[in-house]
Amino acid sequence: MRKRYAICGLLLLSLSACSNLTVAPKPVPAHAIAFDKNQQTAGIIDCDAKGCKVTATWVLKYHQMEAEFKKTFPGDVNIKQEGDHFRAPYDVVEFYTQMKAAERGG
């Protein structure tokens, strides 16, 4: 019986001795934008009071999903080109998010 208590005591001691060695990942800032070899690869670049600045690839994917799901959104007429990018209102971004969730089975 004493041997059993000694083993349990050693086990608890060894577990508590290693508790300070826990490694936690560094948090990633939510505002970070995805880049791959100096190329911005996230569809949404930035958002402000007027909506979100998105890439042409995002708009292309948006229209592909509309065709795939056979759904259109009246707010599509409000997607406007701004230089090399586009401005999408929040309701359009929300519709994109819903289609993307459906595409993933959600």
Query: How is 40-73 classified by DSSP, letter by letter?
Result: E--SEEEEETTEEEE-HHHHHHHHHHHHHHT---
For residue 90, give its domain range. 32-106
pLDDT at 35: 60
Residues 73 and 95 sit within 8 Å (Cβ to Cβ): yes
Tell me, yes or no, whether 45 lies in a domain.
yes
Tell me, yes or no, whether 7 lies in a domain.
no
Give pLDDT tens digits for 42-52. 788 888 999 99
Task: Kindly indicate the confidence band of residue 90, based on its pLDDT and cuts at 50, 70 and 90.
Answer: very high
pLDDT at 52: 92
Task: Kindly indicate the confidence band of residue 104, based on its pLDDT and cuts at 50, 70 and 90.
Answer: confident
For residues 34-41, give the mean pLDDT. Answer: 62
Tell me, yes or no, whether 25 lies in a domain.
no
Tell me, yes or no, whether 13 lies in a domain.
no
Residues 56 and 86 sit within 8 Å (Cβ to Cβ): yes
pLDDT at 18: 54
pLDDT at 49: 92
Tell me, yes or no, whether 98 lies in a domain.
yes
Tally of structural domains, the chain: 1
pLDDT at 79: 95
pLDDT at 43: 85
Task: Kindly indicate the confidence band of residue 16, based on its pLDDT and cuts at 50, 70 and 90.
Answer: low
Tell me, yes or no, whether 93 lies in a domain.
yes
